[in-house]
């Protein structure tokens, strides 16, 4: 397997920018302002990639639209994490035959994690002839060249060759949110958890240089962004490949010391690499949100070993206990998989007991989905779908009870929130710990930090009132 990262040179990025100029001229010659629709599936990494795709399209003269109907280019940025995610994409791609028939000059591109699987790109090639272009995450930076080729030749393009992955700095970006920004600090994953497709489709771990990350954060703060979320599949590995003595805690500390009224989040952490130093850093800096997303996947040591996770239940709990000893109000969230091949009823009960011991604020719960090419997809599994659904429902009921109790404990407290939008009558806001709060108020408050007194709750959200003088 190729292991060396390709760093895309500044000249190459400039060449792609120049191609955006050519695309603009192509449309100007026809007197048309073209429309682009970018649809994103999957996680924040894909959201961040889509903002770069939109950036390139805007640079190429496209106006963004939020519907496939009448769009001159459609880009579906896909996710391969579970079978269900892939089925949705195939369904939606199939339906695009009709939108293209109504707008024949429409060009359709598929990109993202699904396209990193040869079986998927082959299926697109042979069974979905209305798709004009396919590119994997490694080829995102060359989207302008691919688009121009399709526009000029009408021929289909496939840029899906596998590689260890690339780093491309300086791509244009069109951010969707004016207050909250994603900043990728690294790409790829080396962990090969036995159930997971990500390392196969996103390549090896590679870190951006700290200076590039600092510059992006400084620009965001200067532009008025109030929340920055640092992204990586396993942020605790940040810097290992650079060998310059900067780890993720150092990186966060530096950003948290930047001037400005903002807060800092990050995701995701792998428990095998999460350090006490990272907890110390979170505790030290007021700008770093007191929230930790620490996926545990299973509460049973045999299952964790089969998952290739490289930590035990005990080690995991030690981390949680350390974090809570420093920050008693630390908000903890996590991912968990139910029904890993061969997981017994007793092993599942270990997962439940871990949830009851940690008492997460929220959980992202998944039923195991076999992914072609991963070791877990070949493991024997005597348990039925009905067994797994039953366990899943039980787990959700346990967690919902905990979430509700945790939310109830907030009532009467005053929490600092970032007011980030409106949902009908009420403003929406997020606490430091990422909990959703609804409150009354005018639109002028959107984008402000404020203290809110919590006066009610449900399993999923809190309600509150603005404290006088806090806005």
Out of ligand SAH, ligand F3S, ligand SF4, none, which partner does residue 199 contact, by CB within 5 to 8 A per kind? ligand SF4
d(C-alpha 197, C-alpha 82), whole Å = 9
Three-class SS of residue 415? strand
Q: Are 158 and 125 in contact (CB under 8 A)?
A: yes
How far does Cα 265 stand from its chain's mean position?
A: 12
CB under 6 A: which stretch of 15-23, 122-130, 170-178, 187-195 binds ligand SF4? 187-195
Which one of 297, 298, 300, 431 is in contact with ligand SAH (CB under 6 A)? 297
Rounded alpha-carbon distances, angstroms, from residue 316 to 67, 70, 196, 312: 44, 51, 20, 6
Q: Phi-psi region for residue 190, left (φ > 0), alpha (ψ -120 to 50) or beta?
A: alpha
Question: For residues 71 and 196, which CB has a smaller minimum distance to ligand SF4 in the complex?
Answer: 196
Least separation in angstroms between residue 199's CB and ligand SF4 is 5
Question: For residues 40 and 194, which CB has a smaller minimum distance to ligand SF4 in the complex?
Answer: 194
Out of ligand SF4, ligand SAH, ligand F3S, none, which partner does residue 200 contact, by CB within 5 to 8 A per kind? none
Binding map of ligand SAH across residues 126-165, x = CB under 6 A, - = no contact: ----------------------------------------
Question: For residues 78 and 191, which CB has a smaller minimum distance to ligand SF4 in the complex?
Answer: 191
Strands 133-135 and 157-159: parallel
User: How many C-beta atoms surround the C-beta of residue 219 within 10 A?
Assistant: 11
Q: Are 316 and 357 in contact (CB under 8 A)?
A: no
CB under 6 A: which stretch of 35-43, 148-156, 193-201, 339-347 binds ligand SF4? 193-201
Binding map of ligand SAH across residues 195-234, x = CB under 6 A, - = no contact: xx-x----------------------------------xx
| Residue among 252, 246, 248 at smallest CA distance from 236 | 248
For the chain, what percentages of helix, strand and coil (3-state, to nearest 5) are there?
40, 20, 40
Binding residues for ligand SAH, per CB under 6 A? Answer: 81-82, 195-196, 198, 233-234, 268, 270, 295, 297, 335, 337, 366, 368-369, 371
Residue ranges that bind ligand SF4, judged by CB under 6 A: 189, 191-193, 196, 198-199, 233-234, 270
């Amino acid at each position: 397997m190729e292991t060396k990262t390709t760093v895309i040179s500044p000249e190459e990025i400039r060449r792609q920018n120049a191609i955006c100029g050519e695309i603009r001229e192509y449309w100007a010659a026809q007197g048309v302002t073209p429309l682009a629709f970018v649809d994103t599936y999957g996680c924040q990494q894909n959201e961040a990639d889509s903002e770069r795709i939109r950036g390139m399209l805007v640079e190429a003269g496209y106006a963004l639209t939020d519907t496939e109907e009448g769009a001159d280019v459609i880009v579906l940025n896909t996710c391969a994490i579970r079978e269900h995610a892939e089925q949705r994409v195939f369904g939606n791609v199939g339906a695009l035959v009709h939108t293209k028939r109504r707008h024949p000059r429409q060009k359709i591109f598929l990109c993202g994690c699904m396209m990193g699987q040869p079986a998927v790109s082959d299926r697109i090639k042979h069974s979905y002839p209305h798709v004009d272009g396919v590119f994997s995450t490694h080829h995102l930076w060359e989207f302008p060249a691919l688009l121009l080729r399709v526009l000029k030749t009408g021929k289909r393009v496939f840029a899906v060759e596998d590689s260890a992955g690339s780093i491309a700095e300086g791509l244009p970006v069109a951010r969707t949110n004016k207050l909250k920004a994603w900043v990728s600090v690294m790409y790829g994953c080396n962990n090969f958890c036995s159930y997971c497709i990500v390392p196969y489709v996103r390549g090896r771990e590679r870190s951006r240089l700290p200076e590039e990350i600092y510059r992006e954060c400084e620009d965001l703060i200067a532009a008025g962004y109030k929340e920055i979320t640092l992204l990586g599949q396993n942020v605790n590995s940040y810097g290992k490949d650079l060998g310059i003595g900067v780890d993720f805690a150092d990186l966060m500390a530096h950003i948290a010391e930047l001037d400005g009224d903002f807060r800092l989040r990050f995701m995701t952490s792998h428990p095998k690499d999460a350090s006490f130093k990272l907890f110390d850093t979170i505790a030290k800096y007021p700008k770093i949100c007191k929230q930790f997303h620490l996926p545990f996947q299973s509460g049973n040591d045999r299952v964790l070993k089969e998952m290739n996770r490289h930590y035990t239940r005990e080690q995991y709990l030690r981390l949680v206990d350390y974090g809570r000893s420093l920050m008693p109000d630390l908000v903890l969230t996590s991912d968990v998989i139910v029904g890993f091949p061969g997981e017994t009823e007793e092993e599942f009960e270990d997962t439940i007991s871990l949830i009851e011991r940690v008492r997460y604020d929220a959980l992202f719960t998944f039923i195991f989905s076999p992914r072609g090419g991963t070791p877990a997809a070949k493991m024997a599994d005597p348990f039925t779908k009905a067994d797994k659904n039953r366990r899943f429902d039980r787990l959700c009921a346990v967690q919902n009870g905990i979430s509700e109790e945790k939310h109830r404990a907030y009532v009467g407290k005053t929490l600092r929130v970032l007011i980030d939008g409106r949902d009908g009558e009420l403003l929406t806001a997020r606490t430091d710990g990422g909990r959703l709060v609804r409150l009354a108020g005018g639109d002028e408050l959107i984008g402000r930090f404020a203290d809110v007194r919590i006066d009610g709750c449900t399993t999923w959200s809190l309600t509150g009132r603005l404290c006088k003088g806090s806005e």
